[in-house]
Structure 1
Amino acid sequence: MKITAIKVFQVDLPLREGRYNWSGGNFMEVFDSTVVAVETDEGITGYAECCPLGSAYLPSYAKGVRAGLAEIGPRLIGHDPTDLGPLNRHMDAVLRGHPYVKAPVDIACWDILGKVAGLPVYKLLGGAEQESIALYRAISQEDSAVMADKIAGYRAEGYTKFQLKVGGDANDDIARIEACRAILKPGDILVADANTGWTMADAARVVNAVADLDVYIEQPCMSYEESISIRRRTTLPFVLDENIGSVGDLVRGIGDDAFDVINLKISKVGGLTKAKLMRDLCVAHGIPMTIEDTWGGDIVTATIAHLARSTPERFCFTATDFNSYVTVSIAAGAPERVAGRMTASDAPGLGITPRFGVLGEPVLVIN
């Protein structure tokens, strides 16, 4: 089997809540997502999606996905999409870095592999460890009372895990954490995610102020060194996200005892092949993970569901149903949230069918 063409589509995904705010005054109202179709000489096509969270979250941006695909795409024609190891090594050889560019190619090839094998991707990733996956809800940064009200509303829909966007003024963030923890029940999970937004001084103030609360602290500062300094100052469970972007980062963090949980974002690390390797390393070292991505719609959500479903429940801290955050559906067969949980399709591959009437014509064709 050979890759004969790569088609690239662009689609806007408006937010249901209108706006998503996080640290540093950053916000998004409409996400720019890229959908990739990898076609083969045997008539089997694989699909994937990559959607960076703007251009101020990670070293990635929406137009960069498409520019990078234009760069590497011609070098992939003729390669066997089911030889995932050689394909990934080839992509790394022809383009240094930029793992988010390579991720949709890798994921689309997993979709092809599943269709060739007649198996859902979660089977190829290790098999069903869970029938359904517990989801978290990200709560956009606003006034503490508004955030608490939103948590109450989402809790009524079945969510029991919440990621609170903090990383602003330390006094405001202390109030946000206190107000949101107060309305939750024992056993509900609250994660205070600063998204690198605190200075070390502010982070130290916040973790000391909320030391008696049941809350996780996530990615307090910009650098790895700053963040693990804060870890040493708190007994609260600790999550790293932005600083864990590769197998090397993960191995370093395990050696340094830098976290209790990591966020494993599939496109950030380069796709399912590398995410599976990192997932398996975490399981081997007893580290729970949030299985997710930077953002996206139906196809990203399906990809998350397959990796999460093949992850042992005790190590799957939570996952994300990004398609419930946006107003546009780009694929049939995607996971649907039920009482705060979702599952992966049992159909071959990712189990999704793109809605080409929504996607429109490709913005780039490589053959």
Structure 2
Amino acid sequence: MRITGIRVHQVDLPLHEGGYSWSDGNRVEVFDTTVVAVETDAGLTGHGEVCPLGPAYLPAYATGARTGIAELAPHLLGSDPTELLAMDRLMHRALRGHPYVKSAIDVACWDLLGQASGQPVCTLLGGRFGEDFPLYRAISQDTPEAMAASVARYRDEGYTTFQLKVGGDPDTDIERIHAAAAELDRRHTLIADANTGWLPHQALRVAAAVRELDVYIEQPCMSYEECLTVRRHTDRPFILDEVIDGVPILLRALADGAMDGINIKISKVGGLTRARRLRDLCLEAGIAMTIEDSWGGDIATAAIAHLAHSTPAEWRFSVTDFNSYVTVPIAEGAPRREAGRLAAGTDAGLGVHPIEAALGEPVSITRR
């Protein structure tokens, strides 16, 4: 099988709640997602999706993804997309850095391998653990009262894990955490996710003020070193997210005992091939994982579901389903939440079939 063409589509994804807010005053109302179609001489087409969380969250932005894919595409024509490690190496030789650019292409290659072998991607990633799995719900930053009301609403819809967006004024964040915790009991999990928004002294104040609560602290500060300082001065369980962008920093964090869990965002690390490496290291080290991406629609959610379903339940801390946050479906066959739970599809590959009308005309096409 050889790659004969790469198509790129741009789709706007409005949010059901009207917008999504997190630390440092960041807010997005319509997500700009990129869908990649990798065509082959075998008549099969694989799909992937990359959707940065705006330009001010990670070193990634939507137009950069499409520009980078157009730069990469000519180098990939004629390659075998089912040789996943070879494809990964080829992309990283052709374009240094910019892992988010390569992510959608990598996911599309996994989709093709699954289609060619007649197996779902989760089987190729290690197997299917359980019938389904619970989801977390991200709670957009708002007043303490509004965030507590959102927690209660999603709790009643079946969610059991809540990622509270904090990282603002420490006193307000303390109120937010206490208000949300009051809506939950021991069956639920509460995460205070600062998304790098606090300085260390602010993070330590918040951690001390919520010490009696059953709450996780996630990525309090911008740098790894700042987060490690906070980690060493609090007994709250601790999660790292934005700073874990590859194997070298994960190995350092494991040696430092810097966390109890990490977030694996597929596009942040460069696709499923590299996300699986981090996943398997965490399995060996006993580190819990949130399996997700920066954002996305149906195709990104399918990729998340396959990586999550192939991760043993003991290490699967939480998972998200971004297609339930947005108003525009872009693929049939994508997993859909039921009572706060999700399952990867059982069809070959990702199991998704893009809705051509939703994708619209390609913004770029590269063919042999």
Gaps of 5+ in 1: none
Query: What residue in structure 1 maps to residue 201 of structure 2?
Result: 201
Cα displacement string for residues 248-306 of structure 1 (whole angstroms, at most 9, x for unaligned residues): 11111111111001000001000000011110110011111000000000000000000
Cα distance, 1:133 vs. partner?
Answer: 1.4
Contact 1:140 / 1:164 at 8 angstroms: preserved in 2?
Answer: yes
Query: Which secondary structure does the structure 2 equivalent of 1:87 belong to?
Result: helix
Match runs of 1:202-221 below 5 Å: 202-221=202-221
**Cα distance in structure 2, aligned partners of 1:339 and 1:104:** 29
Q: Amino acid of the residue matched to residue 91 of structure 2?
A: M
RMSD of aligned Cα (Å):
0.5
Deviations 1:83-130 (CA, angstroms, capped at 9, x unpaired): 111110011111110000001111000000000000000000011112
Cα distance per residue 1:219-253 (max 9 Å; x no partner): 00000000010000100000000000111111111
- Alpha carbons 1:8, 1:66 under 8 Å: kept: yes
Identity %: 60
Give the corresponding residue for 2:122: 122
Aligned to 2:171: 171
Matched, 1:16 2:22: no
CA shift for structure 1 position 187: 2.6
Query: Which residue of the partner structure matches residue 69 of structure 2?
Result: 69
Question: What residue number does 2:332 align with?
Answer: 332
Stretches of structure 2 lacking an aligned partner (at least 5 in a row): none
User: 1:2–1:79: 8 Å Cα contact kept in structure 2?
Assistant: yes
What one-letter code is carried by the residue in structure 1 that aligns with 2:117?
A: A
> Match for 1:216: what amino acid?
Y
Q: For the residues of structure 1 that align with 2:187 and 2:342, how far apart are their CA atoms?
A: 20
SS state at 1:4 partner: strand
SS in 1 for 2:137: strand
**SS of equivalent residue, structure 2 residue 232:** helix
CA deviation string 1:142-188 (max 9, x = no partner): 00010000000000000010000000000000000001001101131
SS in 1 for 2:225: helix
What is the CA–CA distance in structure 2 between the aligned matches of 1:350 and 1:72, rounded to whole Å?
23
What amino acid does structure 2 have at the position aligned with 1:321? D
Any conservation in 2 of the 1:239–1:261 contact (CA below 8 Å)? yes
Letter in 1 for 2:282: C
Contact 1:130 1:310 in 2 (8 A): no
| Paired residue total | 367
**Alpha carbons 1:195, 1:221 under 8 Å: kept:** yes
- Hey, what does 1:84 align to over in structure 2? 84
User: Runs of at least 4 residues of structure 1 off by over 3 A?
Assistant: none
- Aligned-partner Cα distance in 1 for 2:143–2:61: 28
Amino acid at match of 2:134: A
> Aligned partners of 2:256 and 2:233: how far apart in 1?
15
Aligned partner letter, 1:175: E
